[in-house]
Amino acid sequence: MRRAATIALVAAVRHRVELRRRRDHPQLGLAVFLGAAVGTLFVVGSLPIPYYEAFWPEPGAFHYGTLVADEPDRVLVRAREIAAIALVVIAGLAGLSATTSEDWDSPPVELLTAVPLPTAILGVLGDELLESSWFVVPVAVAGSLAFAAGTGQPVVLVGVLFGSLVIVATGLVIGTAIGIGTRAAIRGSPRLYRSRNAVGFVALFVTFVGLVASRTAGGALARTPLGWYGDLLLVTTAGVDATLAYGVVATVGSGVSLAAALAVVVVSARVLWFAEVDHDHDHSHEHERDDRSHTPTTETNGVDTESTASTATDSSVQSPLETTLGHVLSRPTMAVTRATWRRIRRSPNALVFVVLPFAIVGPATANVAIQWPQLVPVLVTLYAAAAVGLGTTLNPIGNERIALPAILTTPTGRRSVLRGHAVAALVPGVPTAVTVAIVAGSVTGYSVGQLAALVVVAVALTVGGVGVSLGIGSFLPNLKGPTAASLSPPELYAMVGYLFAMSLLSTPAFAGFAAIGSGNANPSELPTLPIYGPAFAVVVTVLLAGSVGFAGYRYAARTLDRYEAGGE
Amino acid sequence: MSDLAIETVGLTKRYGDETAVSDLSLEIDRGTVYGFLGPNGAGKTTTMRILTTLTRPTSGSATVAGHSIEDRDAVTPHIGYLPEDPPIYDELTGREQLEYVAGLRDLPSEEASERIDDMLERFDLLEDADKRIDAYSKGMRQKVGVIQAVLHEPTVAFLDEPTSGLDPRAARTMRNTIADLADQEMTIFLSTHILPVVDELADTIGVLHNGRLVAEGAPDTLKHRAETGEEGSLEDVFLAVTDETEYAETESEPTA
């Protein structure tokens, strides 16, 4: 009992710290609110309220509540599917969060010297679960209320609410255990451990897209014991033939699973916190030095160190690319660009979101290819362009947080930092997006004119996207990281906002390129000459991406201008 | 051009109802070391942030190197700043970090390399210059922070606890370096809790308490005016002028 109270105290205090951090940056709280609001809209679905029905016509919990009286079997089938999918999705998100969370990197010393290790671990876990619940619990409660309202039977709420909370708790704890357990299992391999975020994101989103794209996934999951949670949801709903035994087994199973999951968390966190693995120190920089310097090295204190003579020339030894850029860029911007590349190479986790568009490119492209094959190159180009802005430009202030005093007290520091991050993303990004556009357009059969139009769209979206990325990243910075002086991945909500903005920016391109073949008797035969559609796409995309991108850059610059130390 | 490196008139900073700095007026000559003392929360860091243009004052005015702090672009070329936490990147090596800052300051590569090597050698960091900063001790990070603050040879260097985390040898090097920089006509605005450092280096000492300047003068002058009425130590001075009761009674002009 005393231990439970201590765990609750640890979780509550850590959570209070997080809440206060969010309060200092209200836009982060707003982002959570918007995320939960959108999730609630999806789950609750359409409601018989004037205007609302037109605003959100998709059926959801309320609609299925109204079907209970007439189609109870259909409701039961749907409940089993939704319960099973919800468990998988929540567990997946919690697993990903545990994979990326800095809380499990090193032990909180202040706790280890005050409370037993399991208490400290469970306290930290409690804080993590509370944070995850910000988003999930409001959605679950709103969905339960909507369903009960749809049935018109208040007693329904008891079963649905209890079942929803069991699903949420089970998904969160088991997902976290899987995430931390996996992380502990690969802790011994520096290479695997460093790439855990990227692999986790890809795996999760491929799973999600698979669930969404496949019409049979929900049904298949519902036939497993995961579907029994649907019975638990409807156990107090009169008229629905939910199996009480399934509901009881689901509840008991959750209890057993939670106990096992907590044990896994304790064991895994112990491994993570006390592993003696030098995973953060790759020696790429030493190899780098070896590559670029042919001067003899001296052995000092067991570490290869270049002689004084050779180090004196280090700053002048640059790659051909850096030398070329050095002729074009100002010295401050080049300094930021070079430092950003070096930092990314040594903290690749900061680029974890870059792989995101590629994770969904396969399934989504396959769907589009069936109906609108002429749009596949535009879609693939959009993915490539969007990926460019998902790196350090999406967290320009968060990545500089401890260095801001130095940057802001240099004459051109503010602008140089933004430009440097932008150049660091665009130099590899523009050629990549252009290559993707040319390859995809050529394979699809675009004419030379259409290819040229697509290339211009690719460049506009990439350059404009980086501006948008800087703006959104300045508005929603991620100010947490492995340490105050290291790169950190962008804020999750910044990533969502950025992808949403990019999808809007690319709308004219889709509209324009959709015109290809529209006047043709056989739409599968693409015309050999560009028509007004792609030209429209080029003009509008360049104007839109250019103006919005510039606005994003200006916003980021103004945010840095307004920055006040001590007032952040 | 004015002989003053720093001049403030009635500088005040409020955060809501809290007054961090109150009616602060300073006149600091060029090429001198100004020791800025005060208990925790006295407003020293806020003052430094105002003077380095990182925070705007609520009222009052200030010039640094002859430029108004309202004009950030005019002030920043002339200043260097070491905050309490050195503004450095974990992912870079010490040398890369310094090259980065030299680039930001638009220093030509060759000149930057020379200065970097010189400073690395002076601070005994040359052997570890190509190791990543995340492997550095607190003292080594502090050294990198100090070097990057003075690398461009600013007119005024603001150093917040520069000897924090340094071993005795490194602390000695730091004190010598500060003295050398002052000899080269650089003005050092030095905030620290370590009174012997200020005693040794400062030409003038200012003591801040509850946001107000409660004592100012040369170290010897202040020592003579210590509460004991006899020749005391700087610690006596500090304790006397920052005593809550005494201060509340006097609420007076700086003891200069």
Give the end-to-end CA distance of chain A in Å, rounded to a whole number. Answer: 40
Residue-averaged pLDDT of chain A: 82
**Hey, is B74 helix, strand or coil?**
helix
pLDDT, mean of residues A91-115 = 84
Question: Residues B218, B57: contact at Cβ < 8 Å?
Answer: no
Task: Kindly report the nearest CA distance between residue A563 and chain B, in angstroms.
Answer: 7
Q: Tell me which residue in B99, B103, B113 faces A332 most closely, judged by beta carbons.
A: B103
What span, in angstroms and rounded, lies between the C-alpha atoms of A369 and B175?
70
- HEC secondary structure over A381-440: HHHHHHHHCCCHHHCCCHHHHHHHHHHHCCCCHHHHHHHHHHHHHHHHHHHHHHHHHHHH
Place A288 in a pLDDT band, splitting at 50, 70 and 90. Answer: very low
Average pLDDT over residues B233-245: 69
Share of chain B above pLDDT 90, in %: 52
Taking CA atoms, A478 is separated from A27, A28, A100, A201, A345, in Å, by 11, 9, 13, 18, 19
Residues 298-337 of A with CB under 8 A from B: 300-301, 303, 305-306, 308, 311-316, 330-332, 334-336
Q: Is residue B71 part of a domain?
A: yes
Whether residues B96 and A487 touch (CB distance < 8 A) is answered with: no
Segments in A45-108 forming alpha helices (H): 52-55, 61-66, 72-100
- A chain contacts of residue B41, beta-carbon cutoff 8 Å: none
Q: Which of A403, A394, A406 is nearest to A468 (CA)?
A: A394
Which position has the higher pLDDT, A352 or A407?
A407
Q: Is A410 on the interface with B (CB under 8 A)?
A: yes
Q: Count how many residues are written for chain A.
A: 568
Q: Which residue has the higher pLDDT, A178 or A206?
A: A178
In eight-state DSSP terms, residue B132 is: B
Cα B33 to Cα B182: distance, rounded to the nearest angstrom: 7
B121 CA: distance to closest CA in chain A (Å)? 9
**Domain for residue B256, yes or no?**
no
Strand-pair partners of B82? B159
Mean pLDDT of A454-465: 95
Q: Which two tokens stand for residue A126?
A: 């409690």
Q: Give whole-number Cα distances, B187 to A223, B64, B124, B199, in Å.
A: 77, 10, 24, 16
Q: What is the pLDDT of residue A521?
A: 39
- Chain B positions touching A337 (Cβ under 8 A) are none
> What is the per-residue pLDDT for A434?
96
Is 80 exceeded by the pLDDT of residue B125?
A: yes
**Residue B126 near chain A (CB below 8 Å):** yes
CB A421, CB B106: distance < 8 Å: no
Report the range out of A121-125, A185-189, A272-276 with the highest average pLDDT: A121-125
CA–CA min distance A405, chain B (Å):
7
Residue of chain B minimizing CA distance to A332: B104
Q: Closest approach of chain B CAs to the CA of A131, in angstroms? A: 28
- Helices (H), strands (E): how many in chain A? 25, 2
For range A455-482, the mean pLDDT: 91
pLDDT category of residue A423 using cuts at 50, 70 and 90: very high
CATH code: domain of residue B39: 3.40.50.300
Contact A442, A528 (CB under 8 A): no
Q: Does A21 touch chain B (CB under 8 A)?
A: no
* Cβ-nearest to A301 among B103, B127, B129: B127
List chain A residues with CB under 8 Å of B156: none
Q: Given pLDDT bands bounded at 50, 70 and 90, which one contains residue A292?
A: very low
- pLDDT score at A530: 47
Beta carbons of A485 and B90 less than 8 Å apart: yes
On whether any CB of chain A is under 8 Å from the CB of B14, the answer is no
**Chain A residue nearest residue B77, CA to CA:** A411
Q: Residue B254's pLDDT band (boundaries 50, 70, 90)?
A: low
Q: What is the predicted pLDDT for the residue at A380? A: 87
Closest partner CB to B99 (pick from A315, A346, A404): A315
Nearest CA in chain A to B79: A409
Instruction: Let me know: does B11 contact B69? Beta carbons within 8 Å.
Output: no
Residue with tokens 């609630």: A40
Residue B35 lies in a domain: yes
Could you tell me the two tokens for A192? Answer: 């695997």
| Stretch among A433-447, A482-496, B42-56 having the lowest mean pLDDT | A482-496
Distance from CA of B249 to the nearest CA of A (A): 31
> Residue A224: what pLDDT?
92
Residue A257's alpha-carbon distances to A123, A173, A178, A252, A261, in angstroms, are: 19, 9, 12, 9, 6
* Structural domains in chain B (count): 1
Q: Residue B95: which domain range?
A: 4-250
| Least confident segment among A167-181, A265-279, A333-347, A492-506 | A265-279
Beta bridge partners of B64: B6, B67
Looking at the domain assignment, is residue B77 inside a domain?
Answer: yes
Among A315, A412, A487, A488, pick the best mutation site for testing chain B contact (most B Cβ within 10 A).
A315
Nearest CA to A475 out of A493, A458, A489, A456 is that of A493
Q: Specify which residues A305 forms β-bridges with.
A: A298
Report the pLDDT value the prediction gives residue A298, as an integer from 0 to 100: 34
Q: What letter represents residue A316's amino acid?
A: S
The verdict on B129 touching A (C-beta cutoff 8 Å) is yes
8 Å CB contact between A97 and A230: no
User: Residue B100 and residue A286: Cβ atoms within 8 Å?
Assistant: no
Contacts of B54 in chain A (CB under 8 A): 405, 408-409, 563-566
CB contact under 8 A, A404 and B135: no
A159 has a pLDDT exceeding 80: yes
**Has residue A204 got a pLDDT over 60?**
yes
> In this complex, how many residue pairs, one in chain A and one in chain B, have their CB atoms less than 8 Å apart?
156
**Partner residue opposite B130 with nearest CB, options A289, A336, A338:** A289
Q: Is the minimum CB–CB distance between A408 and chain B shorter than 8 Å?
A: yes
List chain A residues with CB under 8 Å of B72.
408
Say if the Cβ atoms of A336 and B100 lie within 8 Å. Answer: yes
Task: Give B155's DSSP letter.
Answer: S
Strands B33-37 and B204-209: parallel
- Domain boundaries along the sequence of chain A: 2-274, 320-562
Say how far apart CA A236 and CA A229 lie, in whole Å. Answer: 13
